């Protein structure tokens, strides 16, 4: 598969060198700093912050700092959402002040609470307004600006090629296209061939996204779309190494850090849990970590008993959670480094 080996080669995004072409998708509530560090450590070419609302960021609202802060990775990419040019420009300046190397603009989020505020994919209904936001961000910072979009609002308005072309003319360095319309939300199957129309409309790199989880699918989306790179989201649930492992297979090397043995898996899950408690504080961290623990259980311990699952996903005592995780993943052996049980 020629397309697969292509994924191992670097990509230039407005002068920023990206080490390979398999990216972790931004996912609000999921791809926080601990998750991105793991995904990048396993070899993902690029990781992106969760979206941050530019209006909230500009007002200095709590929580925004955690979303935009530099996690020490070589390329720091921050995604902004919003509908006011003044907030988008200010948000971009704040992110650039946090040493962002790339600013991404969210024009794909389908959630009602985002589109209801005319942000996210609602911007695809008014390309002039979308362009005013792009121009404001491009004008505010000297780092490359990218845009993430869907195919359009609905089947009758597949205007991603037009938005991408106008974004390129406004100075955008790369576009990512999720092969669904806003009105599809996450239903049906992403249309990988439709992304080809965006690729044909621009000469900047195009990233194809939607329903990819394996090397074969990564090669096929590239072949059908002609895109330059692939972005992967939900396939990472319970497996932060998916993008890295596909990039590694493409490059003919083995992905670093994938936990295969039971003890390694227990250590991995516990350290992810503990990093979340450190980042958010124990009270909020343990709630936010539950979805990840649920996915790790679904994926790697599907025979876990209902009582054990309940104990892990409802306990408010980190030490208990860790002990139970060790029982489930490593027959009770303690993790090699233990922080929260102490
Ligand atoms: C829970 C969740 C949160 C998401 N948050 C964001 C976000 O913050 N910014 C964004 O551009 N897309 C967001 N997305 C969309 C993903 O980046 C991606 O486009 C979508 O999941 C399709 O890719 P996949 O099939 O590989 O998951 C989110 C998706 C999910 C499922």
The residue annotated as part of the active site, out of 64, 109, 183, 326, is 109
The pLDDT tens digits for 36-73 are 999 999 999 999 999 999 999 999 998 999 999 999 99
The pLDDT tens digits for 190-240 are 999 999 999 999 999 999 999 999 999 999 999 999 999 999 999 999 999
For residue 331, the model assigns a pLDDT of: 81
> Is beta strand 11-13 parallel, antiparallel or unpaired with respect to 16-18?
antiparallel
- Centre of ligand 1 to C-alpha 319, Å, is 32
The pLDDT tens digits for 154-169 are 999 999 999 999 999 9
Question: Is the per-residue pLDDT at 341 higher than 50?
Answer: no
Atom of ligand 1 nearest to the CA of 108: 11
Mean pLDDT score, 143-161: 97
Q: Whose CA is nearest to atom 28 of ligand 1?
A: 27
Please say whether the beta carbons of 225 and 209 come within 8 A.
Answer: no
The pLDDT tens digits for 8-24 are 999 999 999 999 999 99
- Centre of ligand 1 to C-alpha 195, Å, is 17
Atom of ligand 1 nearest to the CA of 148: 11
Per-residue CA distances from 16 to 145, 250, 300 (Å): 11, 21, 36
Tokens standing for 275? 């990093």
Q: Which neighbouring-strand residues pair with 152?
A: 181
- Centre of ligand 1 to C-alpha 141, Å, is 25
For residue 332, the model assigns a pLDDT of: 66
Ligand 1 proximal residues by C-beta, below 6 Å: 25-30, 50-51, 79, 106, 108-109, 148, 178, 209-212, 232-235
For residue 336, the model assigns a pLDDT of: 64
Helix 242-251 vs helix 215-225: crossing angle, to nearest 10:
80
Q: Whose CA is nearest to atom 5 of ligand 1?
A: 27
What gap in Å lies between CA 153 and CA 110, rounded to an integer?
Answer: 9
Question: Is the per-residue pLDDT at 342 higher than 50?
Answer: no
For residue 273, the model assigns a pLDDT of: 98
Helix 318-330 vs helix 262-280: crossing angle, to nearest 10:
160
Q: Which of 22, 23, 24, 27 to mutate to test the pocket of ligand 1 (most atoms within 8 A of CB)?
A: 27
Tokens standing for 227? 């895109």
- Centre of ligand 1 to C-alpha 107, Å, is 11
Any idea what the Cα angle at residue 179 is, between residues 177 and 185, rounded to 5°? 110
What gap in Å lies between CA 293 and CA 214, rounded to an integer?
Answer: 22
- Residue appearing with tokens 């003919």: 252
> Is beta strand 48-53 parallel, antiparallel or unpaired with respect to 174-181?
unpaired
For residue 337, the model assigns a pLDDT of: 60
Tokens standing for 3? 């397309």
The count of other CB atoms within 10 Å of the CB of residue 280 is 18
**326 in active site:** no
Atom of ligand 1 nearest to the CA of 104: 11
The pLDDT tens digits for 271-327 are 999 999 999 999 999 999 999 999 999 999 999 999 999 999 999 999 999 999 999
What gap in Å lies between CA 340 and CA 76, rounded to an integer?
Answer: 29
């Amino acid at each position: 598969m020629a397309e697969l080996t292509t994924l191992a080669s670097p990509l230039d995004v407005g002068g920023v060198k990206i080490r390979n072409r398999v990216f972790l998708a931004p996912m609000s509530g999921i791809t926080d700093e601990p998750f991105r560090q793991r995904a990048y450590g396993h070899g993902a070419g690029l990781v992106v912050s969760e979206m941050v609302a530019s209006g909230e960021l500009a007002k200095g609202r709590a929580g925004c700092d955690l979303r935009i802060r530099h996690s020490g990775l070589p390329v720091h990419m921050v995604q902004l959402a919003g509908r006011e040019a003044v907030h988008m420009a200010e948000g971009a300046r704040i992110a650039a002040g946090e040493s962002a190397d790339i600013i991404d603009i969210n024009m794909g989020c389908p959630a009602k609470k985002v589109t209801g505020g005319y942000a996210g994919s609602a911007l695809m209904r008014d390309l002039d307004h979308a362009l005013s936001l792009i121009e404001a961000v491009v004008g505010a910072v000297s780092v490359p600006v990218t845009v993430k979009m869907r195919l359009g609002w609905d089947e009758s308005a597949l205007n991603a090629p037009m938005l991408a072309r106008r974004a390129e003319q406004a100075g955008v360095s790369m576009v990512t296209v999720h092969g669904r319309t806003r009105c599809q939300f996450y239903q049906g199957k992403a249309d990988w061939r439709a992304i080809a129309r965006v690729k044909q409309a621009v000469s900047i790199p195009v990233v194809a996204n939607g329903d990819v989880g394996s090397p074969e699918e990564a090669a096929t989306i590239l072949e059908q779309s002609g895109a330059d790179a692939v972005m992967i989201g939900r396939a990472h649930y319970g497996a932060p190494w998916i993008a890295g492992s596909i990039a590694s297979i493409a490059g003919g090397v083995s992905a670093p850090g994938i936990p295969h043995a039971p003890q390694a898996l227990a250590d991995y899950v516990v350290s992810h849990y503990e990093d979340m408690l450190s980042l958010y504080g124990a009270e909020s961290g343990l709630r936010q970590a539950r979805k990840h623990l649920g996915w790790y259980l679904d994926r790697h311990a599907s025979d876990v008993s209902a009582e054990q699952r309940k104990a892990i996903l409802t306990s408010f005592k980190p030490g208990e959670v860790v002990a139970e995780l060790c029982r489930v993943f490593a027959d009770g052996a303690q993790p090699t480094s233990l922080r929260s049980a102490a």
